[in-house]
C-alpha cells in the first residue's frame, strides 16, 4: 500500500541521533525554502537561521560549555560528554532566531515568534520528506547571551530559539504514539 502525502506528514518525528551525510546544497536550500512558506503576519519574515557545520559544531560546543560554567549552570562531566558525543556525529545545526523589530508596534512580538516557530516546523517536515532526521532543541547555550551574541543574534534585537540538528538517522526509530486529536478539540456553536 502506498503512503499518501498526508500519512507521510503525520509520520514526522524528531530524530536526535543523526550522522553524515547531511543535506547537500540543493537539499539544504529546499529545507530552508520550505521555511519561507510559513504563515507570517505582515510578511515580516522574522526568522533568521545560522548554519553551523563541521568543525564549527565542536567550537559551538566549547563556547556553550564554557559559557554554561561561567554562568554557574549545573553541567556534569557526564552530560557534557554525552552532548559532545552526540554533536560529534551531527553534520548540520541550524541556529534559529527571531528578529524582534521593536519598531513594529502593529503586530505583537509573540506573532513574530509564532511565525518563526512555524518556519521551523515547515523545515522539520521538509527534512523528513527528504529522508533526513531532524531535532529541535534548546540546549547549547540557547539562553546565554555570550553564546547567542557570538552567533550574531544580540538579545536586544533577536530572540534566540535553539538549534535544529539535521542528518541521516543513525538507526530507524518506530513512530511514536500520538494523542488522539479529539482530546484537544471542542466545538463552539455560537452563543
Ligand atoms: C522550541 C522547542 C524546544 C525544544 N527543546 C528541547 C530540548 O532542549 N531538549 C529536548 O529533549 N527536547 C526539546 N524539544 C522537543 C523535541 O524537539 C521533540 O519535539 C520531542 O523530543 C518530541 O519528539 P517528536 O517531535 O517526535 O514528538 C523542543 C521542542 C521545541 C518545539
Residue 189: the pLDDT is 96
Give residue 189 CA to ligand 1 midpoint distance, Å: 34
Q: How far does the centroid of ligand 1 lie from the alpha carbon of residue 20, in Å?
A: 21
Q: What is the 3-state secondary structure (H, E, C) of 34-66?
A: HHCCCCCHHHCCCEEEEEEECHHHHHHHHHHHH
Q: What is the DSSP string of 82-122?
A: HHHHHHHH--EEEEEEEE--TT--SS-HHHHHHHHHHHHHH
Name all residues whose Cβ lies below 6 A of ligand 1.
Answer: 13-14, 135-139, 162, 176
Closest atom of ligand 1 to 139 CA is 8
Q: What is the pLDDT of residue 2?
A: 84
φ and ψ of 47, to 5 deg: -75, 140
Domain ranges of the chain: 5-184
Mutate-to-test residue for ligand 1 from 10, 11, 12, 14, highest number of ligand atoms within 8 A of CB: 14
Predicted pLDDT at 133: 98
pLDDT computed for residue 68 by the predictor? 94
pLDDT, tens digit, 9 for 90 and up, residues 91-104: 999 999 999 988 99
Q: Note the CATH number of domain 5-184.
A: 3.40.109.10
Instruction: Quick: pLDDT tens for 153-175.
Output: 998 999 999 999 999 999 988 88
Q: Is the peptide bond before 121 cis (omega within 30 degrees of 0)?
A: no
Q: Worst-scoring range by mean pLDDT, 24-33, 98-107, 143-152, 176-185?
A: 98-107
CA of 136 to the centre of ligand 1 (A): 5
> How close is the Cα of 186 to the center of ligand 1, in Å?
26
| Digit-coded pLDDT (tens) for 125-139 | 999 999 999 999 999
Query: Would you place residue 79 in the very low, low, confident or very high pLDDT band (cuts 50, 70, 90)?
Result: very high
Asked if pLDDT for residue 1 goes beyond 80, the answer is no
Amino acid at each position: 500500500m502506498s503512503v499518501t502525502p498526508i500519512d507521510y506528514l503525520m509520520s514526522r518525528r524528531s530524530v536526535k541521533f543523526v550522522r553524515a551525510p547531511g543535506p547537500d546544497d540543493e537539499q539544504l536550500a529546499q529545507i530552508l525554502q520550505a521555511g519561507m512558506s510559513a504563515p507570517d503576519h505582515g510578511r515580516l519574515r522574522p526568522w533568521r537561521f545560522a548554519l553551523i557545520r563541521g568543525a564549527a559544531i565542536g567550537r559551538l560546543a566549547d563556547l556553550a560549555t564554557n559559557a554554561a560554567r561561567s554562568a554557574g549552570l549545573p553541567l556534569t562531566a557526564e552530560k557534557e560528554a554525552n552532548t559532545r558525543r552526540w554533536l560529534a556525529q551531527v553534520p548540520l545545526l541550524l541556529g534559529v532566531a527571531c528578529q524582534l523589530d521593536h519598531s513594529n508596534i502593529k503586530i505583537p512580538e509573540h506573532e513574530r515568534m509564532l511565525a518563526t516557530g512555524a518556519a521551523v516546523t515547515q523545515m522539520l517536515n521538509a527534512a523528513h520528506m527528504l529522508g533526513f532526521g531532524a531535532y529541535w532543541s534548546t540546549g547549547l547555550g540557547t539562553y546565554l547571551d555570550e553564546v547567542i551574541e557570538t552567533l550574531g543574534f544580540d538579545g536586544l534585537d533577536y530572540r534566540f530559539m535553539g538549534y535544529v540538528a539535521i542528518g541521516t538517522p543513525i538507526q530507524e526509530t518506530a513512530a511514536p504514539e500520538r494523542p488522539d486529536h479529539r482530546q484537544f478539540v471542542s466545538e463552539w456553536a455560537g452563543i
